[in-house]
Chain A
């Protein structure tokens, strides 16, 4: 009986413990721009049976249906940037993500971490962009200091790079090069 109560309590607590990630923490913070698509939204998209006559859009759509979570956070604030950075480092360790690629160039430092099942598909993708050269990189009217992008689901890297490219995020073009290596 006692055990059961403890178990029940623990189950109820889990969402509270795991729920607080860096994305949710800064959701309403004035120093960040945050965008997320929840698993439910992806499930709903899959059900809507949207049809386009554009093969490229169809391809993108079928890829999108396999994604479960999409989150991106960017900030211009140095302190918040450091916090995002340290959360990412902890997450990578705790969830045993592997480094896929590191890019160091004039524009920014871009790190990719993945959890993969086989060569073509990855289960989780984390992209961290830091040390952004503010004179060269702009997102709309903002020049971010740090960008963190998180994806999980069944992810085809080549397709993702197209998506990231379309969103004009730094790192997208690097991601596209992965498969060509």
Chain B
């Protein structure tokens, strides 16, 4: 019985480590001129913690950051585009990600996947591509309270957070 347990454990570990992680991919590509990598903490929303109640504060704290990777296709990097697209697809097809939505067409595609439990995911990733390039956007947190998303949307509206974040982002470029 013990043997069996070890065996299944090994299988599990092998299954988890067989492909490069999305995090590794981000780190690797942050040096590549074809890519634009951005790390946006949720603090950019500039929400005053004092105005939140306990439930809102806890829900907001479970979301940590927003990580964006952009690849802009040019005449020169056509080959790289195809390779990178395959790589990202390979990473997201890993069993550790649960697909939520998949849309694919000869000209564009979109995919939404989740990592962790459905109730409290640790990461939600959107991957979209078109003939102009592709984007990988990761919403990262710790046991994110997705069921409170509506509550948080209300908070964001109340605090005018989206306008502030847009202004911040506008200054970055």
Contact = CB atoms under 8 A, between A and B. Distances in A.
A94 interface: no
How would you classify the secondary structure of chain A's contact residues: helix, strand, loop or mixed? mixed
Given A5-B4, A30-B106, A40-B114, A49 B101 contact: no
B146 A38 contact: no
Given A5-B4, A8-B8, A48-B150, A37 B101 contact: yes
Contacts of A4: 4
Interface residues of A, number: 25
Nearest to B146: A44
A17 interface: no
Given A12-B11, A40-B118, A35 B146 contact: no
Contacts of B8: 8
Contacts of A1: 1, 4
A44 B118 contact: yes
B106 A31 contact: yes
Contacts of B112: 41
A173 interface: no
Contacts of A34: 102-105
Contacts of A5: 4
B89 A38 contact: no
A27 B106 CA distance: 10
B119 interface: yes
Contacts of A44: 100, 114, 118, 146
Contacts of B58: none
B102 A35 contact: yes
Nearest to B98: A40
Given A43-B118, A47-B147, A27 B104 contact: yes
Contacts of A36: 99, 101-103
A43 B11 CA distance: 29
Given A30-B106, A33-B104, A40-B114, A48 B149 contact: yes
Contacts of A40: 98-100, 114, 118
B102 A27 contact: yes
A41 B119 contact: no
Contact of B146 (A8, A33, A47): A47
Given A8-B8, A44-B114, 6 more contacts: A4-B4, A34-B104, A36-B101, A36-B102, A38-B102, A48-B147
Interface of B: 1, 4, 8, 11, 89, 98-106, 112, 114, 118-119, 146-147, 149-150
